[in-house]
Amino acid sequence: MSTSLPNDELAQLAPLLASLARLIARGTAITEARLQMLLSGMRIQHQPEVPELARWSRLLQDVVADPDARDVAIEALLLLGLPEAVVLLAVNTVTQPAPTAPPPVLAPTLQVSTLQAHPPRLEWNLAAGEGVTGEIEVKGGPGQILVESDQVQVLPDRFGAEATRVQVRVRPLQEGMIWTSVRLVTDTASLDVPVLAQWQSQSAAMAPAFLLPTNPDMSGPTGNLAGPPGAVATPVNPPAKLAASLVAVHRLPVYFLVDISAGAATGRVQSLNQSFARFKTEILADPQTRDCVQVGVITYCEQARLVSPGLTAISNWSPPLMILSDYSSSRLDLAFQTLSQALTSLRDVGFTPTLQNWRPLVFVFVYNRPTDIWAKPSNIWEQVRTELLAAKSGAQAPGQIVAVQCGSMVDDATLRAISTIPPIQQSPSHPLKSLIQFIQ
């Protein structure tokens, strides 16, 4: 699915999606004459824009008729090329209309976003079973506040142009970690505020020391990434500030980068969806991996997106549904950039391989040869990969990148160039079985 309009016209029309959402939320019937009236307010008289606005209107009206179709409508609007912030605000307007009368529809003006949040992130180290409430001050509205995790609540969920104090409540867990974000969305911008909460189990709290492997990049000569065999365990007394946030268990971040471009085989993607659930079951069944594996998923086609709520413990991970894109571009360079941002956030919240964590393990599911923005085969991803691997001194550098061959559209030389070790062949019957064996 894609729009027939040039990019410059689409960008000019994008603010009208919010106008349509407000009209639909108020129950206003959308007719061709009224769409032309909206366009006249933008000083646009071209007729091709009317069918495009009607298309947007039908998608928003479908959400009103069937609220369960909310996520599908969001994806459809994004595939049309509309900005994510505008799409999220419009869909939320028709599903959760504001109780007060909305402001009059005005012709949008170009302005610099002043969306701000202080502090820029929230993080806590908590005792088992402890809940917590924090506060952020938000400016730059009007806008809405969206949360991705059921463990997190915000009050209020809207903010204005002036400073608004927002309470962020995190429900208690006995152990583990929540790493998610609170998203601030206005008509013109969006801003994510990372939220990290770690719970220390009673057994970990009583431990006088924790163990460090002598080789933090890998676990030892056996190459077993799930546990410390082959490493020399050395008792270390950490600084008091760090001791409260560390638990006596190693962490292995695992990232899946999945090509969902149009050329990927539908059967392969369906098989991968089924195998994600089996991957979780088999990792949880192994005592060596169930307490250390944490998962993040990034999809890529003409753009790259972190589709999982940050890095999630395998016990709390809900496998995402992979859906093929209509675009044929396979932007591995954008996937590596998104991974770099995720790993930088990992470093910022205290994940360092010199303390308790293994360097991240990255699996790249390659269906098509990587391309540029025009869907032409390209090696522009190589520079991004080189920069990613060069940061060896911090947790933002992965320990290994493993290419997973998922079809015949990519050559062996490209797979070897992507991977830091010999590539893996995807099994049609169980695509992740070899990955489980690799981790174990």
pLDDT (tens, 9 = 90+) of the chain, 440 residues, equals 455 567 667 777 778 888 888 888 888 888 888 887 877 766 555 555 678 888 888 888 888 888 888 888 888 888 888 888 788 888 888 887 544 544 555 444 444 458 899 998 888 888 888 889 999 999 998 999 998 777 889 999 999 888 999 999 998 887 666 767 888 999 888 888 888 777 765 544 443 322 333 333 333 333 333 333 333 333 333 333 333 333 345 678 899 999 988 765 555 666 777 778 888 888 888 777 788 888 999 999 989 998 877 788 888 888 887 777 777 889 999 999 999 888 877 665 555 554 456 778 899 988 888 998 888 899 999 999 988 888 754 446 788 898 888 777 788 899 999 998 878 776 655 556 556 555 55
Report the CATH number at residue 391. 3.40.50.410
d(CA 95, CA 323): 24
Are residues 370 and 301 part of one domain?
yes
CA distance linking residue 199 with residue 131, whole number of Å: 10
Specify whether 90 is located in the same domain as 131. no
Q: What whole-number distance in Å separates Cα of residue 312 and Cα of residue 316? A: 6
Say whether both 286 and 370 belong to one domain.
yes
SS percent in the chain: helix, strand, coil, step 5: 30, 25, 45
From the CB of residue 68, how many other CB atoms can be counted at a distance below 10 Å? 7
- Give a yes or no: residue 230 inside a domain: no
Say if 385 falls within a structural domain. yes
Write the CB contacts of 318 (distance below 8 Å, at least 6 apart in sequence): 312
Q: Is 423 a member of any domain?
A: yes
Residue 235 DSSP code: E
The verdict on residue 61 lying in a domain is yes
Peptide linkage before 156 cis (omega within 30 of 0): yes
Closest CA to 158 of 168, 145, 146, 169: 145
Q: Which pLDDT belongs to residue 430? A: 53
Residue 217 lies in a domain: no
- 316 and 190, same domain (yes or no): no
Residue 357 CA to residue 65 CA, distance in Å, equals 47
Give the pair of three-digit tokens for residue 279. Answer: 């991957």
Q: State whether 369 and 400 are in the same domain.
A: yes
Q: Do residues 391 and 269 share a domain? A: yes
Predicted local confidence at residue 245, as pLDDT: 37
Beta strands (DSSP E) in 84-242 are 116-118, 122-127, 132-139, 143-147, 152-155, 158-159, 164-170, 176-186, 190-200, 210-212, 234-236
How far apart are the C-alpha atoms of 7 and 251, rounded to whole Å?
44
Residues 179, 265 share a domain: no
Position 372, amino acid? D
The C-alpha atoms of residue 280 and residue 254 are separated, in whole angstroms, by 12
The pTM of this model reads: 0.46
Of the residues 142, 173, 202, the one at which a domain ends: 202
What pLDDT is stored for residue 15 in this prediction? 80
Nearest to 168, CA basis, from 157, 153, 183, 180 = 153
- Domain span at 80: 7-95
Q: Does 120 lie in the same domain as 90?
A: no
Boundary of a domain, candidates 139, 172, 202: 202
Which of 44, 66, 95 is where one domain is finished?
95
At 393, list the tokens.
């001194």
CA distances from 140 to 13, 136, 137, 208 (A): 22, 13, 11, 47
- Domain co-membership, 389 together with 298: yes
**100 within some domain:** no
Whether residues 301 and 406 share a domain: the answer is yes
Residue 181 sits in the same domain as residue 260: no
76 and 121 share one domain: no
Establish if 107 belongs to a structural domain. Answer: no
C-alpha closest to that of 323 among 364, 389, 271, 269? 269
As for how many domains the chain has, the answer is 3
